[in-house]
Amino acid sequence: MREQSSNPKDRIGITKVPLHLLPITALAQQSLAHLDGSLKYGEYNWRNETVSASVYVAAMMRHALKYYTGETFDTDSGIHHLAHVAACCNILMDAQEFDMLVDDRQKHPQLAEFLNSMSEEVKRIQAMHRERQKPQCSPPERAKPSSEHSHEA
């Protein structure tokens, strides 16, 4: 947090949305994903016609899973998969704010409760196998080059 300023602009400015906290590298990559989408589908197309949450969630999941399995950049656009994920999030939030979102999410409180209960299940299974757990394998050490050569007689 910054020191409190006596400048009236600063006193008012610190009460505004802190957009300076967004990483510029992420914003730049997200803007590329938005550019790709605007050229394909039209700029701010989700404000002209409604969009379905399920379509964007599915796209986010595909991009996230491709990233997670080792593919950093989308093979079609060449843009970072996480930038596509972020662009989908941006569109969902914007469409929701402008009442252009078809909210077809799976709204079942039981699903949230089920997912929360899985954390307890993970703890139970880990405790059950605690004594069997082996330390994580580390890569074998490389042989260090020796500056001295041994000569056997």
**Model confidence at 62: pLDDT above 80:** yes
Average pLDDT score over the chain:
88
Cβ(83)–Cβ(33) below 8 Å: yes
pLDDT digits (tens, 9 = 90+) for 65-124: 999 999 999 999 999 999 999 999 999 999 999 999 999 998 888 988 999 999 999 999
Mean pLDDT of 125-152: 66
Percent of the chain with pLDDT over 90: 68
Q: How far is 115 from 78, CA to CA, in rounded Å?
A: 34
* Residue spans of beta strands (DSSP E) within the chain: 51-52, 101-102
The set of residues, in sequence order, having a beta carbon less than 8 Å from that of 103 and lying 6+ positions away, is: 53, 96
> Domain residue spans in the chain?
29-104
Global pTM? 0.74
- What is the pLDDT confidence band of residue 52, given thresholds at 50, 70 and 90? very high
User: How many C-beta atoms lie closer than 10 Å to residue 71's C-beta?
Assistant: 12
The pLDDT value recorded for residue 128 is 92
